[in-house]
Structure 1
């Protein structure tokens, strides 16, 4: 892994070494007859806290974070919402909470309606098996032939057991994790290897680093895609579409040309990929004209269709033994010597799916949930930026299939300028999203009011402050308006589909140009009822197979 020295030329250029990009580059480089250049804007993943599971929030607003914020959200008291995204090898898989939650088979079958049967659950399940490898398998759906470590938590807090007991107490089923349907409440499976984070840098790039045909360059900010000029046809037939020939990339303050002999693949994620497409002249024509960017392809859906999971949480005070003391010298010593203890925790140690009464009104298909309940063995407050002020827990309601849509738009033609992120939280015209998340918080209160969780809580509140003097409905309203935030799953801004309006086709090729693809969460037509790291890695794997088949 290197910086700017050496040739910037390869058969394939992959932009972004995140969940999808690292997997894609490593898989392409398995063929010794081709060369792969992987460009990553961030630094190498060398900081110790990148590898200690419970330390992930210490990375927020730091050098390994793109450090994004949304525009003010009217439905959330006009607040801007912090969106951390990984800016290092492994991308957001180096910054996330390591929860391995695939989603439901129906989510992928919904993709298939838009992008064809090759994106159905039946077609993708073998890819999930390929990327999962468990040290301690818990159910039959996890394979053993892939590089990604997925394992049980090594040292969960006893409060997580109380959370699952609470779920049973109110009538929910407790099931194995990652079932394709019928998923209930579970202890979180994690993308770890023996208690340490297993990012895609760990599981894909490091095993591939000795291959002479793979070059990884960090500190490499791609400014735009370059295109070869179309040849005029004297016979009067239409010229060929523009062909991606490489990228302009800034390394150590110097802009250089990197050349691709076969293809350029964008894997920057749901924010950076649409930004790069628009900077390259592919996007809504009027918007590009506003910023003086020459139009290459009028693609109105670039940067549109943005979807994200909003979470609203309540944080009751707990009796002790939570992650509040996780940073103590004793816990650090235990982690360093045994890879166990509080620092091996993903923080969100349990979760479960529920179907609220709003689901029937909203037309959610029978058997599918509309809320995920997430359980953290610490008070997760201030968007993860505020250290826990005391012993506490968090129960959060995640709006897992929102109707609201948002946009990514350029603020400037300067590639270093941050884009305008507007997720449009709770803006669906019928108010279904708001009603659903409030119903989810009612379910959190129902779980909290069980013998199992009363035994480990005090009756006091960390968030909302003074919650003991409020009704559950008052706590819910305040939690949504004042404390809700992203759960870090933006998708959809370069969606795939069989229709001409989609940004990429089912083979992930950008429409209107040649030799340019997208492989990351931006191609997802709809956000899944789960967490996006697992399917993003699968998209990288699928892209590698599609590209190899094309050449």
Structure 2
């Protein structure tokens, strides 16, 4: 065992939460931090050019996941990109900085305590954004996480916001805690370039002698030793109703250059792999549903039935009509690259999802959602975003899409085998709720998209032809809606909930993010979110990492 693989704290995963957490912990010179990242350094230009993010899909910086076939989406498997590099998915995402509503976090507080309420988390959001106004994330952008206005949005985006007003929707400032309408997107960029957590947290911290960052390091499992101290009283209990002997996390087995080595944590191990990799690693380490672990020959450390359960994600379905020139279809022309490299201006600074807005459907009323709270987000892109982002842009066009914000359906993450290199089985169970409320809400959202496209503001920009669905000009609005929902919908990249936090004994982690049933092990990433927010998950994931540092330091 090499000394360079021993530290007070081992952080597994250098993504949105993990990079922020490791940087914050290492601010204390008295402790040492070892950050282990399965991917390589964030060196490719495409990682830093905002509009190039989809070119990273299926590449070396992507875990390259797919779901199991989805019966309600024509039995399609859905591509799930997840960042596999420093910065994680914050190096791969569309940079939309959308906090969500205050009510989302107050709902977390009902499950996980007042420390996760909106009022408790606002100071963390402000610290991450370096702004004092929760309704305006535009000032003081030289803080750790850069958040700024788009530098060069397409004129089509202003037309979309005019269309929203024409259709009777309010156009408001972004990131309001309540009553937010339609807005131009704030972005996690700095001077026109992506600002991942690798840029904003790790690079300023890389000179610290107490922080060691190891890339291309695949963690295989957490290691444990028995202790005389019994586990916490509210640990998950198996079918027998009994809790096993005291157990403490001591480190991890990690594969580097094809060799498996042991890394030792003197104080704690913190898992920051996200909603897919964290439950996978917990189960590989013996923490998960006992029956499922037994199927793969994994000894049970803690029978925790909810590890890998409660999976929630935002499903998006887009309508993409043809449009007149000036869309991002021409973003790859040589002149645009020169403009970006010399001035940090032009189409390549675009995050693609340049505007969005919130609406409430009749399903929200049926489900008894709080008054004024939306269940659909409308997203706008000045380009036809088709083929899950895996195909070249086929033509000039725009996309107006509907995002299902509060799915009733729940999915799972399960092991395919006991081999850490085997991809887990991802089943988001899209649109699977028995009463069909998810499909009904998403369909209502797509009809809102149809109404927006019919406004004078957008009709002036569109051509009457359709990029998606193909042949849409000869279909009725209802036919376009149904086809878009079933055949063309895909993830908006926001999986959460698979290692949820809560005050109840069934929650895999407690409100201080400690894994129940063992000592010295925490989780800090989107997997702990009890419910998916009405927004985009990158911002709260970073906040979870920053807050976790405070929890660990007491």
- Whether the aligned pair in 1 keeps the contact of 2:353 and 2:379 (CA below 8 Å) is yes
Deviations 1:352-392, CA, capped at 9 Å, x for gaps: 00112222122221110010000001000000001111100
The counterpart of 2:397, out of the listed 381, 387, 392, is 392
Q: Does 1:214 align with 2:172?
A: no
Q: Does 1:202 align with 2:199?
A: yes
Q: Does 1:27 align with 2:32?
A: no
Which residue is equivalent to 1:286?
291
Which residue is equivalent to 2:118?
121
Deviations 1:496-535, CA, capped at 9 Å, x for gaps: 0000000000000000000000000000000000000000
The counterpart of 1:49, out of the listed 31, 43, 46, is 46
- Whether the aligned pair in 2 keeps the contact of 1:141 and 1:179 (CA below 8 Å) is no
- Whether the aligned pair in 2 keeps the contact of 1:232 and 1:239 (CA below 8 Å) is no
In the TM superposition, what is the alpha-carbon distance from 1:428 to its structure 2 partner? 1.0
In the TM superposition, what is the alpha-carbon distance from 1:143 to its structure 2 partner? 6.7
Equivalent residues in 2 for 1:58-457 (5 A)? 58-133=55-130, 139-140=135-136, 144=140, 146-231=143-228, 241-457=246-462
- Whether the aligned pair in 1 keeps the contact of 2:50 and 2:94 (CA below 8 Å) is yes
Q: TM-score w.r.t. structure 1 length? A: 0.96
Which residue is equivalent to 2:238?
none
Change in CA separation of 1:292 and 1:194 when aligned onto 2, cut-off 3 Å: same
Deviations 1:285-344, CA, capped at 9 Å, x for gaps: 000000000000000000000000000001000011000000000100000000110000
Count the aligned residue pairs.
541
Q: Output the CA distance in 2 between the equivalents of 1:223 and 1:143.
A: 42
- Whether the aligned pair in 1 keeps the contact of 2:229 and 2:246 (CA below 8 Å) is no
In the TM superposition, what is the alpha-carbon distance from 1:230 to its structure 2 partner? 2.7
In the TM superposition, what is the alpha-carbon distance from 1:443 to its structure 2 partner? 0.1
Q: Output the CA distance in 2 between the equivalents of 1:475 and 1:227.
A: 54
Which residue is equivalent to 2:240?
none
Please tell me the root mean square deviation across aligned C-alpha atoms, in Å.
1.6
Q: Give the ranges of 4+ consecutive aligned residues of structure 1 lying more than 3 Å apart after TM superposition.
A: 136-146
In the TM superposition, what is the alpha-carbon distance from 1:429 to its structure 2 partner? 1.4
Please state whether the residue corresponding to 2:176 is helix, strand or coil: coil
Deviations 1:193-212, CA, capped at 9 Å, x for gaps: 00000000000000000000
In the TM superposition, what is the alpha-carbon distance from 1:15 to its structure 2 partner? 0.1
Q: Output the CA distance in 1 between the equivalents of 2:324 and 2:264.
A: 59
Please state whether the residue corresponding to 2:366 is helix, strand or coil: helix
- Whether the aligned pair in 1 keeps the contact of 2:355 and 2:381 (CA below 8 Å) is yes
Deviations 1:120-169, CA, capped at 9 Å, x for gaps: 000000000000037x9894466748410000000000000000000000
Q: TM-score w.r.t. structure 2 length? A: 0.96
Unaligned runs of 5+ in 2: 231-242
Q: Output the CA distance in 2 between the equivalents of 1:512 and 1:367.
A: 40
